[in-house]
Amino acid sequence: MYPCALSDETLICLLAEDVPFGDLTTESLGLTGRPGQLEFRARGPMTVCGIEEAARLFELAGASARAIVSSSVVAEDGALLLTAAGSADALHRAWKTAQTLMEWASGIASGAAALVQAAAPVPVACTRKNAPGTKALSIKAIQAGGAIAHRLGLSETLLVFAEHRLFLDEPPGATIARLRNRQPEKKIVVEVISADEALIWAHAGADVLQLEKFTPAALSACRVTLKTEGLQPVLVAAGGVRVDNAADYVAAGAALIATSAPYQAAPRDVQVRFFRAG
C-alpha cells in the first residue's frame, strides 16, 4: 500500500475548507449519528491514485474506511475501490472531498500511464509544471502511473535555460567548465531550441540536451549530426510530446521524454453509493 502523500494537517484543512461551520443539510435533517456505509467504485477503467488519502479523510472525519486496492493499481469499470462506515454526518463530511481528490489524482495517474505505455521502453519524466500547491500528490500520481519526476524543484538539478544564458558574457565552454568545477557530481543539462544550439552546447561539454519543441524528424536529424561529430549527449524530447506522438520521438532517438501533459489529464470518474445501516 502506498503511503499518504498528504499529512493529516493538510487533509484536515481540506475537510475544513469544505465544511467550515458544520454540514447544514445533514444537521437540519436530523441525520447526525445515523449509521451508514458507502462505497467507491470505478466508473470506467483507471489507474488508481489518492485512495490512501481518501481513506484517511474518512477516518479524520470520524468514520472507518478500507482501501480495497492501492494507488498504481489498474482498476476495471465497476471495480470496488474503497468502503467506509460510520455516522451519516461523518460520511457526508468526507464524501465529496475524498471523491474529488481521488478522481483528480487518478486522472493524472491514468494520463501518465498512457504516456508511459506509448513511450516504452523510454522513460517518461514529468516536469515541475504541476498546478501550484499540488506537488506532493501530483508526484505521487505520476509515479503511480509509472512515470518519474523530471525535476522536483530548482534546488536539485542543473538545467541551463536561454533565460540563464541571457545574463552570461562568456563562451559556452567556459559556462560548462564553471558549472562542472562548482558542481562536479551533477549532470549538466542545457535546453536548446535549434540544431545549431544543440551542436554548440554539445561541443561545449553538456551532458544532456533538452530539445525544446523539436519535431521527431528534427530530433532524428540532430542526433545524426551530433553522432557524426563524435558527440553523444543524452537527448531529451521536451515540449509537445503526447500519447499520439510519443512513439515517434522514441523512434527518432530520444533517451527520455519530458512532459507536463499528465497534469492536464481529465479526472477519472469515481462512483459513490450510500447505504443505510443498523
User: From first to last of its 278 residues, what are the pLDDT tens digits of the chain?
Assistant: 689 999 999 999 999 999 999 999 999 999 999 999 999 999 999 999 999 999 999 999 999 999 999 999 999 999 999 999 999 999 999 999 999 999 999 999 999 999 999 999 999 999 999 999 999 999 999 999 999 999 988 999 999 999 999 999 999 999 999 999 999 999 999 999 999 999 999 999 999 999 999 999 999 999 999 999 999 999 999 999 999 999 999 999 999 999 999 999 999 999 999 999 87
Supply the pLDDT for residue 278.
Answer: 73
Tell me the Ramachandran region of residue 166: left when phi exceeds 0, alpha when psi lies from -120 to 50, beta otherwise.
alpha
The CATH number of domain 117-264 is 3.20.20.70? yes
Supply the pLDDT for residue 37.
Answer: 98
What one-character DSSP code corresponds to residue 262?
G
245's grid cell: 506522438
CATH 3.20.20.70 domain span(s) along the chain: 117-264
87 residue type, one letter: S
24's grid cell: 447544514
Supply the pLDDT for residue 208.
Answer: 98
Four-CA torsion 60, 81, 29, 22, nearest 10 degrees? 30
Cis peptide before 20 (omega within 30 of 0): no
Supply the pLDDT for residue 186.
Answer: 96
Nearest Cα to Cα of residue 80 among 51, 100, 110 = 51
251's grid cell: 523512434
* Domain spanning 8-110+266-276: CATH superfamily: Quinolinate phosphoribosyl transferase, N-terminal domain (3.90.1170.20)
Cα 209 → chain centroid: 22
Q: Cell 470496488 identifies what position?
A: 80
CATH 3.90.1170.20 domain span(s) along the chain: 8-110+266-276
Cα separation of 30 and 33, whole Å?
A: 9
Supply the pLDDT for residue 2.
Answer: 85
Beta bridge partners of 251: none
Q: Do you know the residue count of the chain?
A: 278
Cα separation of 94 and 12, whole Å?
A: 10
* Three-state DSSP class for residue 192: strand
Distances (CA, A) of 57 to 30, 195, 262: 23, 50, 25
Supply the pLDDT for residue 275.
Answer: 97
